[in-house]
Amino acid sequence: MPVGIFDSGLGGLTVFNAVQKRLPDLPLLYLGDNKHTPYGVRDAQDIYDLTVQNTQYLFDQGCDLVILACNTASAVALKRMQESWIPSDKRVLGVFVPMIEAVSERNWGDNSAPREVAVQQLALFATPATVASRAFQRELSFRAVGVDVEAQPCGGLVDALEMNDLELAEAMVHSHVAALLRRMPKPQAAVLGCTHYPILEHVFQEALGPEVSVYSQGRLVAASLEDYLQRHPDMVGAAGETRCLTTGDAKDVSVAATRFLGKAMRFEAA
């Protein structure tokens, strides 16, 4: 049985790619809800309903473990899903946890009192829905004190990346970074709080300057998944093949995904 990876569109492919590199023998089933992308401008109930629907589809395909490789879904829907919907024999993990662990310098299972950490000025770039949820700030506050988080909603950036308009996307990054720097002139670190954004990590770094540490999710999530599977080997079987599915037009999404990752990608209709 494969590990499921779900995103609202192409962004989760940055996580998919990083997991493939770190765990090349692990069977994966990627599902992109390209029909309904982007999630970042939808209301909370809509995001929850779509996330549950697509997660259930992956369960039905044989996945016992699903990664929400979508920050908007992780921020808005995951907690509610864990509290009232996910079957006892299934697991759904979000992409916030590895990022929070990195910033707070502690493992998720460490329930000791919050403490001071090295990063005191932190920039967060995310979709409007993720920013509005304040989920990142809430989870970080349970583990670290004294961290000033300045969040910048990056409206339109996911759309530009889904359309493969990199010139527009790069201009948007510079605009969003400039807007944040007017409010927080000297961040020590920046979180790219959307799985689409690592494609433009170098642009964020350039706009922020070399002295700012940029946290990008793909590598962190892949390392966290490897650790989780070592502790829960029953959540994945040896058999299975890696496949990519979409709720959109498979041919169009295959072309867009190939451009997005810079390597050949083949999608099938979900």
Catalytic residues: 70, 194
Residue pair 2/66 in contact by the 8 Å Cβ criterion? no
Amino acid at 108: W
Assigned token pair, 181: 């720097």
Q: Measure the CA–CA gap between 83 and 98, rounded to whole angstroms.
A: 20
Q: Measure the CA–CA gap between 160 and 167, rounded to whole angstroms.
A: 9
Query: Which of 70-80 are b and which e, b meaning 16 or more Cβ less than 10 Å from the residue's Cβ?
Result: bbbbbbbbbee
Cis peptide before 87 (omega within 30 of 0): no
